[in-house]
Amino acid sequence: MNDFDYIRICFSLAEKGMNSVSPNPRVGAVLAVNDFSNAGDTGTNVTGNSHIIGEGWHTQYGGAHAEVNAIDNVRQRYDIHYAGELLRKSTLYVNLEPCSHYGKTPPCVNLIIKCGIPHVVISCLDPNPLVNGAGVRQLRSAGIKVTTGVLEKEGAFLNRRFFTRITKNRPYIILKWAQSADEFIAPSNMHPLQGSFRLTGDETQIENHKLRANEDAIIVGTNTLLTDNPQLNTRLFKSEYCCKNPLRISFDMHNILPNTLKFFDASQPTLLFTSKNIDPQKPILKQVMQELNKRKLNSLIVEGGAKLLNSFIKEDLYDEVRIYTAPVRLGNGLKAPAIPNDVEMIEEKMSGQDIIRIYARHI
C-alpha cells in the first residue's frame, strides 16, 4: 500500500462521521508502519497482511478528533509499551491538517508530538483561520516530517461543505427538485393543502431522505408549505451512523401560515423567517445566509418551490444541483428551473424508474 491508498482509507473513515460532526469537518485517520521487525518481544502476533496499526474518525461534534481516536485504537490493540514503540515508528495519515488550537478538545498536534510519531501525511490544509497551516508548521518545528497535498482535490471535495462555510461565510447550498420528463415540477391545477404531489418513485424518495440526513438544513418556500404540507424529515432513511433530521426553514412574511402545518410540529428543529426577524427592505436571502452562518450550518438543501429555487439561482447562491427526473410527462404546469450554465454533471444514476443527475459548480 502507498500514501494514496492510506489517504483513501481516511476518506472512507471520515464519511462515517456524516452529519454527526457538523459544524466540524469530516476527518479520518490511519496509523501505519512499514516494518514490525525489532519492535520488541511483546507476545503480540503481528502478521504482514496489513501494516495498519490503528484507525479512527471524528464521530461527533465535541468529541475526540480522528487523530486521537486512531492513537487510542493503537493503545487498545497492543500493550502499552509495544503501542508506544509502534507509534514512534509509524506514519500518521489524515485527510485534513491536524488542529493546532484549543476548541472543544485540545490540539491534536500536541498529542502527535508527544507520541513521537515521525511522519504525518495530509491530504488538505485546513482553511479555518485558527489552523490554516499552523498545524503543519508546529509539526515541522518539532522535527516531524510532514507531507501535504496527497489527493488534495478529492480531500477538498469530501469537506466541500465545511470549506464553503469557512471561505464564503455561508452554507454549501444544494438546489434540489423533482421534475417530469418534459421538465415540469407540478401540474397547473394544484390547490393549497390538497396534499403533496409526487412525481418520483419510492426508491427516489428514500434517496431524498438520505440526502436530508447528510445535510444540516432544508429550506422551502411559503407556497410549498401551503401546497404540499411537507414534513421535511428523514423518516424513510435509516443508518448506523446518522439518523438526524435537518433544521427545517421557511418564510411567513405576511403571517398566513396556519399552525396546523406539519412544519410547526415539535418533531425537529424549525426556523421561520418573518417580518420580525427579517427586514423586507433588504435582500432577504443575504439575511438568511448571515443567520445560517451565525449558526455554523455547513450545508443547506433548497427543496422548493420554483420561486425559491430561482431566487437562489438569481442571487448566485448555489454549489450543487440535484435533479430527480421521473418517466412521466405532464404536458403543462409549473416549469422546472433552468440549470445554471456554470455547473457540470458529475454523476448520473438510476433510482428505480427515475434518473438522478447531480451537477457541481465549476471550481
**What is the pLDDT at residue 191?**
52
Q: What pLDDT, on the 0 to 100 scale, is given for residue 174?
A: 98
Residue 176's pLDDT is 98
The residues carrying an active-site annotation are 67
Structural contact between residues 246 and 277, judged by C-beta atoms closer than 8 angstroms:
no
pLDDT of residue 241: 56
What is the C-alpha separation between 23 and 215, in angstroms, rounded? Answer: 11
Number of Cβ within a 10 Å radius of residue 38: 7
Domains of the chain: 3-160 (3.40.140.10), 169-361 (3.40.430.10)
Distance CA 90, CA 68 (A): 14
Cβ neighbours of 94 (radius 10 Å): 30
Per-residue model confidence (pLDDT) at position 19: 75
C-alpha cell at 306: 420554483
- Residues of the chain with pLDDT below 70 are 35-50, 189-196, 240-243, 363
Per-residue three-class SS string for the chain: CCHHHHHHHHHHHHHCCHHHHCCCCCCEEEEECCCCCCCCCCCCCCCCCCCEEEEEECCCCCCCCHHHHHHHHHHHHCCHHHHHHHHCCCEEEEEECCCCCCCCCCCHHHHHHHHCCCEEEEEECCCCCCCCCHHHHHHHHCCCEEECCCCHHHHHHHCHHHHHHHHHCCCEEEEEEEECCCCEEECCCCCCCCCCCCCCCHHHHHHHHHHHHHCCEEEECHHHHHHHCCCCCCCCCCCCCCCCCCEEEEECCCCCCCCCCHHHCCCCCEEEECCCCCCCCCCHHHHHHHHHHHCCCCEEEEEECHHHHHHHHHCCCCCEEEEEECCCCCCCCEECCCCCCCEEEEEEEEECCEEEEEEEECC
- The model's pLDDT over 10-32, given as tens digits with 9 standing for 90+, comes to 999 999 988 789 999 999 999 99
Q: Look at residues 82, 15, 53, 10 and name the one whose alpha carbon lies nearest to residue 239.
A: 15
pLDDT the model gives residue 102: 78
pLDDT the model gives residue 38: 47
Residue 322 and residue 174 in contact, taking contact as beta carbons nearer than 8 Å = yes
Strand ordering across the sheet containing 354-361: 270-273, 247-251, 217-220, 299-304, 172-179, 320-325, 354-361, 343-351
Helices 66-77 and 80-87: angle between axes, nearest 10 degrees: 130
- In total, the chain counts a number of residues equal to 363
Q: What is the pLDDT of residue 188?
A: 78
Distance CA 249, CA 173 (A): 14
Write out pLDDT tens, residues 240-293. 655 689 999 999 999 999 999 999 999 999 999 999 999 999 999 999 999 999
